[in-house]
Chain A
Amino acid sequence: MDSNNPYKSFDVRVFLISVLAAIMITNLALIFFWAPTEMVMGLVQKVLYVHVPLAWIGFLAFFVVFIGSVMYLWKKTQPWDGLAQAAAEVGVLCTTLMLVTGAIWAKPVWGVWWTWDPRLTTSTILWLMYVGYLMLRGYAPSREQGARYAAVMGIVAFVNVPIVYYSTILWRTVHPEMVIGPASETGNLDSQMRTVLLFSALTFTLLFVYLVKERLALTCAYDRILSIRHKEGIY
């Protein structure tokens, strides 16, 4: 068989996505049928099993962006830039979903959709910085310049996250009345709940790896088309 046979790689993808789908269905079954329903909050507490893993892979994604950016500025090789871009896109998606699921949980539990608690504020600023990061790539004059600018932004944004968090904690101590506080969110989790949460986090991490891999494959395909066009003289 020809090693460039597209059906071969297609099979690998089908296999991966089937395994992932099976794990995700198991995850849903665990969340809705195995994990006990919380006594006070009721069914809405189950948002936790999606919300927390989304937050986790959001931060993981931005850490990957940071690593990719540093390595790109150091090595100047395309794969690092592709990795940073792929992780940023998945990260923005997850952070958006994290903010939305958080609001869905907050309305019945805290009584408000939104509050300026340090975690929420930091997440929003984080989201805004990485949306800016993706826009910067789109508005750059050339792909290479876009990669360099985005790498700088990827580093600056990541370094800024703890400073934003610290400043909003200080700010919260100034405005105590504005905060409802996430205290009810933590506390001792039931062991079954913890197991489901960990399984869910693992599932979402696999999903993250899969999405980044697919996005990287897309970038590679794009590069190949560009090089073919260049070779054939089509612009």
Chain B
Amino acid sequence: MNYFLIPILQIAYKDIILELRTKDIFVTILIFALLMGVIFSFVFVPTKQNVVLILPGTLWVSITFAGVLGFNRSLVLEKDKGNLDGLLLCPVTRDVIYFGKFLGLFLFMISAEIFIVPLYAVLYNVSILDVGIPVIVILTTIGFAAVGTLFSAICVNTRSREVMLPILLLPVSVPIIVAAVEGTRSILEGSPVGIERWVQLLAAFDVIFLVLAAFTFGAVLEE
């Protein structure tokens, strides 16, 4: 167990130290998502009647697009100055590297979302005080970071990687985007009847793609 868990934490710790020094990914995600929130409020003109319809979509589309930028950044940092080769030389299996990178990205996204979600609630003037919101945010972020880590490792080596990452990542993330938007909406509507099925869908997606990505990550990193 320790041979598995400790290297994961060490790889994530390395990313966290780097992030604490540069604050690249956190700032990118936070500012971009807020910018999108402001732009969407011009586009959709939220009122008391339609805000429940608008807010979940704008919130999750903003977080998704901001996340794509953050994922790109994370693996580009590894690619610079041959850091990825150093990581590959570590005496650990490839899935450990995957989970380490995943954990780092998950934490950066969550820490940005801790600010983004309440700020959206303030900007769009709705109450988000419900235990369901953190559950949905955490499950969605796990799923999104799970596929995001895999695809950013693929795209970092391709030409025009900024284009390739969203093209691969967004269609695969459709189920979690749908579940996050609908789950958030049913909470905001104040009648969270259908929420369990969205939570189930998110949890199933997370488990399936964490396992699948860990299995296939070795093939991506092979040199």
Q: Mark B179-213, 1 if CB is under 8 A from A, else 0.
A: 10010000000000010011001001100110011
Write out the residue numbers on chain A whose beta carbons fall within 8 Å of the beta carbon of B168.
129, 132, 136, 153
Q: A82–B147 Cα gap in the complex (Å)? A: 25
Write out the residue numbers on chain B whose beta carbons fall within 8 Å of the beta carbon of A156.
147, 150, 172, 209, 212-213, 216
Write out the residue numbers on chain B whose beta carbons fall within 8 Å of the beta carbon of A93.
none
Residue positions of A touching B, CB distance < 8 A: 73, 125, 128-129, 131-132, 135-136, 139-141, 145, 148-149, 151-153, 155-157, 159-160, 163-164, 166-168, 170-171, 174
- A139-B164, A152-B216 known; 12 new pairs, CB 8 Å cut-off, are A73-B219, A129-B171, A132-B167, A136-B158, A140-B157, A141-B157, A148-B219, A149-B154, A156-B172, A156-B212, A157-B171, A167-B201
Write out the residue numbers on chain A whose beta carbons fall within 8 Å of the beta carbon of B216.
73, 152, 155-156
Query: If the complex has contacts A135-B164, A148-B222, A174-B194, are A163 and B157 also in contact, measured as CB distance less than 8 A?
Result: no
Q: A202–B108 Cα gap in the complex (Å)? A: 52
Interface size class of B (residues with CB under 8 A): 20 to 34
Determine whether the beta carbon of B158 is less than 8 Å from that of A149.
yes
Determine whether the beta carbon of B154 is less than 8 Å from that of A153.
yes
Query: If the complex has contacts A136-B164, A145-B157, are A159 and B201 also in contact, measured as CB distance less than 8 A?
Result: no
B118 within 8 A of A: no
Write out the residue numbers on chain B whose beta carbons fall within 8 Å of the beta carbon of A132.
164, 167-168, 171
Min distance, Cβ B221 to any Cβ of chain A, angstroms: 9
Query: If the complex has contacts A136-B164, A166-B175, A167-B179, are A141 and B159 also in contact, measured as CB distance less than 8 A?
Result: yes
Q: A166–B198 Cα gap in the complex (Å)? A: 11
Min distance, Cβ B33 to any Cβ of chain A, angstroms: 23
Min distance, Cβ B211 to any Cβ of chain A, angstroms: 10
Q: A160–B170 Cα gap in the complex (Å)? A: 12
Determine whether the beta carbon of B159 is less than 8 Å from that of A167.
no
Residue in chain B with minimal CB distance to A147: B219
Determine whether the beta carbon of B201 is less than 8 Å from that of A160.
no
Write out the residue numbers on chain B whose beta carbons fall within 8 Å of the beta carbon of A174.
182, 194
Query: If the complex has contacts A132-B167, A135-B164, A136-B164, are A160 and B175 also in contact, measured as CB distance less than 8 A?
Result: yes
Min distance, Cβ A165 to any Cβ of chain B, angstroms: 9
Determine whether the beta carbon of B172 is less than 8 Å from that of A160.
yes
Determine whether the beta carbon of B208 is less than 8 Å from that of A163.
yes
Write out the residue numbers on chain B whose beta carbons fall within 8 Å of the beta carbon of A166.
175, 201
Determine whether the beta carbon of B182 is less than 8 Å from that of A171.
yes
Q: A156–B154 Cα gap in the complex (Å)? A: 13
B174 within 8 A of A: yes
Q: A155–B211 Cα gap in the complex (Å)? A: 12
Query: If the complex has contacts A139-B160, A164-B174, A168-B178, are A151 and B194 also in contact, measured as CB distance less than 8 A?
Result: no
Determine whether the beta carbon of B175 is less than 8 Å from that of A140.
no
Determine whether the beta carbon of B159 is less than 8 Å from that of A139.
yes
Determine whether the beta carbon of A170 is less than 8 Å from that of B198.
yes
Q: A167–B157 Cα gap in the complex (Å)? A: 32
Determine whether the beta carbon of B205 is less than 8 Å from that of A163.
yes
Residue in chain A with minimal CB distance to B198: A170
Q: A117–B201 Cα gap in the complex (Å)? A: 19
B87 within 8 A of A: no
Min distance, Cβ B149 to any Cβ of chain A, angstroms: 12
Q: A167–B208 Cα gap in the complex (Å)? A: 14
Write out the residue numbers on chain A whose beta carbons fall within 8 Å of the beta carbon of B172.
129, 156-157, 160
Min distance, Cβ B148 to any Cβ of chain A, angstroms: 12
Residue in chain A with minimal CB distance to B186: A174
B220 within 8 A of A: yes
Min distance, Cβ A150 to any Cβ of chain B, angstroms: 9
Write out the residue numbers on chain B whose beta carbons fall within 8 Å of the beta carbon of A151.
219
Min distance, Cβ A91 to any Cβ of chain B, angstroms: 15
Min distance, Cβ A108 to any Cβ of chain B, angstroms: 29
Min distance, Cβ B219 to any Cβ of chain A, angstroms: 5
